[in-house]
Structure 1
Amino acid sequence: MTITEATVRATLNEILDPCSITAGVPAGLDDMGLLTDIRIQDDIEVDGGGRRVAVTVGVTEPSCVLIGSFANEAHTRLAALPGVSAVDVTLADDFDWTPDRLAPHYQRRLAEHRAQVRRALPLLAVTATGPARER
């Protein structure tokens, strides 16, 4: 297996952002726009070769308490890839996430989901309180 940026992005995109799960439209770290830097280079210190992978990961909110678990999971998944000899995961300390960082296909999925929820709101209100009564 050749380790490429696309391989790294796909692997880390399997790690779901809990806020996206709560929103009802699960998305991985790449779709959320949380990967800020990816570097892949040959590992000359390893006999027979290997690739060193370095990634920088951010969060949607500076107060996110899950950043450590993101970093640990990213390290575990990348280290398990065939041909990877070393992994360095850095937490972005100057990262300001904004919704425009979302992948375009995820932005569409999220917008469709929100539109469906908005359309269902009047139905949910009637179901929760019963039919409106005349006064």
Structure 2
Amino acid sequence: MVTKEEVENVVKAVVDEKFVKSVEVNEKGDVAVTLAKDTPNIDDVLIRLNAELGKIGGVGTITINREREMKAEENAELNKDMILEKLKEVIDPEIGVDVVNLGLIYEVNVRPDKTVYVKMTMTTPGCPLTMWILRAVEDKVLEIPGVKDAEIELTFDPPWTPDRISPEYKKRLGLY
């Protein structure tokens, strides 16, 4: 079982301690790290942190959040359709299709505290753009008025297949 101390040591080796807002490890070994919104070189930090945490034995799901401020529109009505529509703006650069029509989004929930949870996958576990796409999804969700925070979970269960592509895009891509 992974310990909080092991996780904290890896986090401190990757990112300056002053930018680490919290580190949490639950009984299943799931890790949640929250970084300051002004963390420098955030893309590099996210990639390195995810890779290094993944090397620790016993680590389950890795969630890396960035600190957020609540937007002025805190009473805005949020719903799943609104979020999915916004996520259509995230295009997989290798395929040229948005993450919704590509079938990468498995689940979307709006929690009572206005945190949006997105469970998603990649076309392959070794996708070189994984961290870029995850960040783009998080950024798009956080652009929606009234969203307090975004939690993006990456899963490969079930694995993605071309069957998940929307019928409209299957036609566009010549898949039927």
Percent sequence identity over aligned pairs: 27
Structure number with larger C-alpha Rg:
1
Cα distance in 2, alignment partners of residues 60 and 86 from structure 1: 25
Structure 2: unaligned runs, 5 residues or longer: 1-75
Letter in 2 for 1:3: L
Letter in 2 for 1:9: L
Letter in 2 for 1:64: C
> Of Structure 1 and Structure 2, which has the larger fraction of its residues in strand?
2
Residue correspondence of structure 1 range 1-135 to structure 2 within 5 A: 1-20=76-95, 26-43=96-113, 51-111=114-174
Scaled by the length of structure 2, the TM-score of the pair is 0.53
Secondary structure class of the residue paired with 1:42: coil
Cα distance in 2, alignment partners of residues 68 and 94 from structure 1: 18
Whose relative contact order is higher, 1 or 2, with alpha carbons under 8 Å and at least 6 apart? Answer: 1
Letter in 1 for 2:164: R
CA RMSD of aligned residues (A): 1.7
How many aligned positions are there?
Answer: 101
Secondary structure class of the residue paired with 1:106: helix
> Of Structure 1 and Structure 2, which has the larger fraction of its residues in helix?
1
Scaled by the length of structure 1, the TM-score of the pair is 0.68
Letter in 2 for 1:28: D
Q: CA deviation at 1:11?
A: 1.1
Q: CA deviation at 1:12?
A: 1.1
Structure 1: unaligned runs, 5 residues or longer: 21-25, 44-50, 116-135
